[in-house]
Structure formats: structure tokens, C-alpha cells
Amino acid sequence: MNPLNRRQFLKSSTATGAGLLILPTGTLFGQNRPSNKLNIALIGVWGRGLAHYNVLKKENVVALCDVNELRFADALKVFPGAKTYVDWRKLLDQEKGIDAVVCCTPDHHHAHVAIWAMNRDKHVYMEKPIALTVEETRAVRALYLKKKNKLATQAGTQRHAIPNFQRVKEMVRDGAIGKLQGAFAWGNRQLPRPGYLPAEGSPPSTLHYDLWIGPSPMHPYNPGYFSGGPGANCLQWNMFWDFGTGQVGDMGNHTMDLAWQAIDATHPTSVEAKGDAFNPEVTPVKMEAHFEHPANDWRGPIRVSWYQGKVFPTMPKKFIDPDGIGHGAMFKGTGGVLLADFNSRMLIPEAKADLTEYKIRPKAQQIPPIGDFQEQWINACKGDPTKTSCNFDYNGLMTEQMALGLVAYRAGKKLKYDGKTGKTDDATANEYLGRKYRAGWTLNG
């Protein structure tokens, strides 16, 4: 069956819900029927990739891609018969029959993979962050917006499905802290490094180091980039400018999500940031960035702030330890403060606040549970593509804001930002909005 007809079949079979569609051959179609499985390519099969296996096992994983050939043996035990690739560009060009792509490569490939995949009309699950720079994030989001009625996308901020997120959102929206004035998110992770790792040895023949470097400028091989445990190896490379955005794209993408999902923000109109002295090789450990967001239809203008590396916002009470919270969010309103981490929340009303109008939502009116975050995307691929919580529109705006924070940090001054054009009011700062790619690596391919 050609891919387009297949996609129509998947859609209509999901729409019938109970698998009532009967083909001339007698094959039953419906949710979880063998014939209703997606054909998926998994790019980056180890590390974070492993966290997707349980959900992917229920579908047809037809292609695997990894720059480390040693990772294929175990992956093929789980996905027997899948074709293997070391270059995701070849996979996306050659695998005509795939419906969807799950990408768990290092961050500096994300925008490229997302755009190449969406250009070929593939649904995309992209590990966070979906891109490194303001320009990349905008390109990913813009392409998604053009195709949002046919492509399901999900950014890998799976904590979004923790019910605490929805309860926090309800409290902010329902007036638990009065009128919202500001939102804060912070993370205390510190990964200091002096600079890129020095040349050491040569890559093993099974590791395609040139493909690992991909679109970024070449840096000498060092086994240290590959020395971390499964799902934590990103902490060996994500602080270097050419491979990541430090804590902005690491825990920042999860933690700002806790605030972002409650505040209904789009583009900031200004940004200012400060932190460690600028190092052209390594992103800052300590940094804070502040964004002014205009009013919307349910709240006034607010200031949104991100803090990292053990720099914290001022807490409403001395006995609250933001370092003890670790990764947290805080909402300040006219009637009090709401503090939250991923799994819990704490309301601190102002002494004189009259919150008598605030009522905890009865269960029946609560935001419905998301369920399994990855399965939400799978279901959206098969049914309504708009039904994911962290599509590239929602997450793209947040990731763009966070990347803009790093631009202001580098510029060292307060910047005005025009969300329509994606430019600041400063020519030098505008040079930090994007990055250059090595020959052979095209963003819009």
C-alpha cells in the first residue's frame, strides 16, 4: 500500500474506534489491530531512545538509525527485521513507507531531523529541546503550523502528563493566587566545563563520528563525549554551544513547561539576562533570564523568569529552599504564591488576601488526564493529529523564548523582541539568533 493510502486507512480505522472496517481481504482494522500499526523510524536507538521501546514495540518499527553501529544488536532484538542506517538523511530519503519518526539524537540534530521529516510528511516525536536557536525553533514551528492538520508532533517533555501539571494550571487559571503577575522556573543542575574536550585517541571504526558532529562545526574526537550512562549521556555534551544549550534545553525545557502550560503566553516583547562570564565554548552554568509578556484575554501583562545553576528567584518565605526543590516553578499573584515541582504544589496565600471566590475544581470539571505521553502522540498519528499536549507550536514558542534568553545573555543587555519577525532591536544580538552549518547539512532539506 502506498504511504498516502496507508495513512488514510490508519485514520479511518481509528475513527471507527472499535475496528469495524473490514477490508476485501477480510483484514480487520482498528485501534491496536496489526494492520493499524504505524510504520516508525527510530533515530538514536540507545540512551533516551530506550525509554520509547515499550510504546514503539506495539507499532512497526521498520527502520533504525544510530551513528554507533554497536547499538544495533540490542535494538534489533526488540525490533527484528528493521533496516539499519547510520545517517538519518539517508533514512529519511530512502524509507518511503514510514508514517512517523521518533528522534532521540543529540540536540544539535533536532531541528534538522524535525524539518526533514515534516517536509516528507512524517509525524514527529522529537526529544527535547526541539531546536538549539531562536531561528531553528521558529523554522520548526512555522513548518509545523503549515501542516498541523495532517501531522502529529510531540516534543519530549513527558513530565507534562503528570497530573500535578494540570492541577497547577487549574489553580492559576481559577484564581488561587488572585490575578497572575509573574511566573518563575528554575533548575539547580550544575555541569561546569572549561571548554570542548581536547583531542584524545581516534573514534572506533563502529562509531561514525563525522555523522555525530553532523551540522555543527568539527571538534576533535574525545571518548568523554560518549562516556555517560543510558539516558544520561546528554550530560557529556549538552553544555557545549555546538551540541546543546546547557540547562536551557536540558531541565529548562521540562521545568519551564510546568510554568508555560499555565500562563498561556506567546512571544515576549523584551528579554534581559545575566550570568557567568561568557565562554565561547561552553554555555553558562549560572544564568537568569527575564521576559516581558503582553496581556491576553484572561490576564494582564506578566514577567516570566528562568533561573539556572543555583541562582534562584526570591522565595515568598525564608523557610522555603529553592535548592531543596531542585527544579521548580512559582506563580506570583495579587493574592499569594503557588509553588510547584513536577509532582507536588503548595499554595501560600497573602495574609490579607480574600480568596473566598477561589474554589477547587470538582473532579468532573478538572482538565482530563493525558495518560501515557508517548501513546498520546501515537494515537494522534492514527487519528486527530492535533490531539497532542506538547506540539511544536506550544513547545516551539516556549523553546524560542528560552533560546532568546541565551541571546540576551550573550548580548549582555536588555533587548526588545518582535515575535512577528523574530528579531531583536540590536544588530549584534541578531547575529546570535541562528548558527552556521557545516557543508552538506541543510536545515530545510
Ligand X SMILES: NC(=O)c1ccc[n+]([C@@H]2O[C@H](COP(=O)([O-])OP(=O)(O)OC[C@H]3O[C@@H](n4cnc5c(N)ncnc54)[C@H](O)[C@@H]3O)[C@@H](O)[C@H]2O)c1
Residues in contact with ligand X by CB under 6 A are 43-49, 65-68, 71, 88, 104-107, 109, 127-128, 156, 158, 211-212, 214, 231-234
Name the minimum Å distance from CB 150 to ligand X. 25
Question: 63, 41 in Cβ contact below 8 A?
Answer: yes
Question: 409, 287 in Cβ contact below 8 A?
Answer: yes
Name the minimum Å distance from CB 98 to ligand X. 15
Rank residues 24 and 229 by Cβ distance to ligand X and give the closer one.
Answer: 229
Tracing cell 510546568 back to the chain, one arrives at: 258
Q: Is 193 exposed, middle or buried (0-12, 13-18, 19+ CB in 10 A)?
A: middle
What lies within 8 Å, CB to CB, of 215 at 6+ separation is 108, 109, 112, 437, 438, 441, 443
Name the minimum Å distance from CB 217 to ligand X. 15
Residue of this chain nearest to ligand X (CB atom): 47
| Distances 213 to 84, 109, 146, 218, 219 between C-alpha atoms, Å | 19, 9, 30, 6, 8
Pick the closest to residue 237 from 106, 113, 48 (CA basis). 106
Rank residues 125 and 331 by Cβ distance to ligand X and give the closer one.
Answer: 125
Name the minimum Å distance from CB 355 to ligand X. 35
Rank residues 128 and 410 by Cβ distance to ligand X and give the closer one.
Answer: 128
Rank residues 253 and 424 by Cβ distance to ligand X and give the closer one.
Answer: 253
Buried b / exposed e along 198-236 (16+ C-beta atoms within 10 A):
eeeeebeeebbbebbbbbbeebebbeebbeeeeeebbeb
Rank residues 46 and 53 by Cβ distance to ligand X and give the closer one.
Answer: 46
The radius of gyration of the chain's CA atoms, rounded to the nearest angstrom, is 22
CA-CA distance, 178 to 337, in Å (whole number)? 9
Query: Residue 169 CB: number of other CB atoms within 10 A?
Result: 18
Rank residues 229 and 369 by Cβ distance to ligand X and give the closer one.
Answer: 229
Name the minimum Å distance from CB 109 to ligand X. 5
Name the minimum Å distance from CB 38 to ligand X. 20
Identity (one letter) of the amino acid at 313?
A: P
Name the minimum Å distance from CB 46 to ligand X. 3
The angle, 0 to 180 degrees and rounded to 10, between the axes of the packed helices 134-147 and 394-411 is 160
The three cell numbers locating residue 230: 543510558
Rank residues 74 and 323 by Cβ distance to ligand X and give the closer one.
Answer: 74
Rank residues 225 and 417 by Cβ distance to ligand X and give the closer one.
Answer: 225
Name the minimum Å distance from CB 43 to ligand X. 5
Name the minimum Å distance from CB 42 to ligand X. 9
CA-CA distance, 100 to 102, in Å (whole number)? 7
Rank residues 99 and 127 by Cβ distance to ligand X and give the closer one.
Answer: 127
The three cell numbers locating residue 61: 518499527
Rank residues 128 and 167 by Cβ distance to ligand X and give the closer one.
Answer: 128
Strand partners, 294: none
Name the minimum Å distance from CB 11 to ligand X. 28
